[in-house]
Amino acid sequence: MFSSQQLSLDKLKNFKRIGIAYSGGLDSKVLLTALIEGIEDKSKLYVLHINHGISPNSDLWEKACKDYSDSLGVKFYSKKIESKTTNQSEGSLRKLRYKAFQSWSKEGDVICTAHHLDDQLETIFFRIMRGTGLYGLLGIPIRRTEFNFVLLRPLLTFSKKELLDYASTKNLSWIEDESNLDTKISRNYIRKIVFPVLYKFWPDLSKSFLYLSKQARDAKIILDEVAESDFHDSKLESDYCLDIGLITKLSDQRITNLLFFWLSNNSSLTLSSNQMESVVRLIIEKKDNKDYYTLINSPKEKNNVDLRAFKGVLYLLSGNCIRPLSGSNGIAWDLKSNLKLSTGEVHCKETLGSGISLEYLKEGITVKGRVGGERCKPKGRGKSQKLKKLLQETDLAPWLRDRIPLIYVGEELAAVGDLWVCEKFHAQPNEKGMSLNWQDSS
């Protein structure tokens, strides 16, 4: 039978605060009671109650949870979720709960939830019914990092029956949420209708599911090792750049595995299986194409990431990396000190025979981004050219071109970052000038 001594409480010692997600139901009451029994330093404990406001009894439950916490001498924190509707999905309510947990948590905190073995089995079954891949079979992790706190599930290896036996031994009473009886809710339907029938014919169903989950975990470890090896073989100067020529030497399956690993470890970008298939197909079809193209263009309002290719390199780009320098308002600059911009920093130093002639300092220098139509005649060129054409001659990635600072003397373009000084403004061989060095913050 389950007891508090069976919990791995050593995992909790290094956390500053221990939050216990507590609804007042059986599972969370067992968790709270077991942690109270097993943890010596009770000052670390906080009871966290989320009032969903869906049931007419929600406020009464909150009060009952607070009264019980007070009786135990444990600090109590509650948060009421402002739900727009009483008919929200389990997934949306879960996100709201975690957001509420985030409002309590600080770095170095852990929050324990009362998920148990039956929840694990229901989750795996539910994902199979929806059509999951390998990773869905992993089920609920015992530990994960969510926002700025660690989420821990100490009861995950114990069954509902074991928790009931423990509660009976301790003479615990708990709140019964009437929504747990509603079989219109998918999880309740699985728990009350489907599983009893399955267990009748296959009594060892839980062992089969757990074995399947273990096989999935073992397979994931192998796949991650393969992906990490492929990643190190194909990455370039940055973790955010992959060599397309090397990627496309792999099988389609290994490319998919590599991209999943790469995106998961370096971004919040998640792709459906259809999206991933389209990306892999496009990479393979265009492997010899050195032109610029976008594979995934994320909504900018989400400040997400883009997946782009240029000159045989696959780039994973955050919103900050592709945000252009504004061309609407010029920034005054004396050319004597470094200038910090939203897209990077311009360093300058006095030189002889290069850079912008010092005689133009008195005319007023401004810096701004591209707006289109700019022209420059770089020193040594026979004629002026559109800036767009000049930039196309460089190896500079297209998204970086709009981040380069343009240096103006009065209303005339004098220099393009550290790429060119327009001939009119270039220092003469024996004349002092200011040479620029542009460092993009991305």
In this structure, the answer to whether residues 220 and 272 fall within a common structural domain is yes
Residue (of 285, 288, 286, 292) closest to 310 by Cα position: 292
Question: Is the domain of 229 the same as that of 118?
Answer: no
Rounded (5°) CA angle 258-245-284: 70
326 in any annotated domain = no
Last residue of a domain, one of 297, 321, 345: 321
Last residue of some domain: 163, 183, 201? 201
- Sequence letter at residue 441: S
Express as a percent the part of the chain with pLDDT over 90.
62
Q: Are residues 225 and 196 in the same domain?
A: no
State the pTM of this model: 0.78
Residue 178 sits in the same domain as residue 230: no
Judge whether 260 lies within some domain.
yes
Phi, psi of 323 (to 5 degrees): -75, 125
Verify that 311 and 215 share a domain, yes or no: yes
Averaged pLDDT for residues 292-296: 87
- pLDDT tens digits for range 253-293: 999 999 999 998 888 888 888 899 999 999 999 988 888 88
Q: What is the mean pLDDT of residues 119-139?
A: 91
The answer on 173 and 215 residing in a single domain is no
**299: pLDDT strictly greater than 70:** no
Section 67-80 average pLDDT? 93
Q: Are residues 166 and 46 in the same domain?
A: yes
- How far is it, in rounded angstroms, from Cα 409 to Cα 387? 17
Give the domain range for residue 410: 331-440
254 and 260 Cβ atoms separated by less than 8 Å: no
Q: How confident is the model at residue 303 (pLDDT cuts 50, 70, 90)?
A: low
Tell me what pLDDT residue 353 has.
Answer: 92
> Total domain count for the chain?
3
Q: Would you say residue 384 lies in a domain?
A: yes
Q: For 158-171, how does the pLDDT look when each residue is reduced to its tens digit (9 = 90+)?
A: 999 999 999 999 99
CB within 8 A of 308, min separation 6: which ones? Answer: 292, 293, 294, 295, 314, 315, 317, 397, 399
Regarding whether 213 and 168 lie in a shared domain, the answer is no
pLDDT of 21 above 80 = yes
Strand partners, 149: 146
| Mean pLDDT, range 98-127, rounded to an integer | 92
User: Which whole number is the average pLDDT over 15-21?
Assistant: 94
Given this model, what pLDDT does residue 418 score? 92
Q: Which of 154, 176, 204 is nearest to 19 (CA)?
A: 154
Report if residue 295 sits inside a domain.
yes
Specify whether 184 is located in the same domain as 219: no
Q: Determine which of 88-102, 134-148, 162-176 has the lowest per-residue pLDDT on average.
A: 88-102
Mean pLDDT computed over 352-363: 87
317/304 Cα distance (integer angstroms):
9
Question: Which of 231, 249, 227, 248 has its CA nearest to residue 240?
Answer: 231
Looking at the structure, tell me whether residues 268 and 406 fall in a common domain. Answer: no
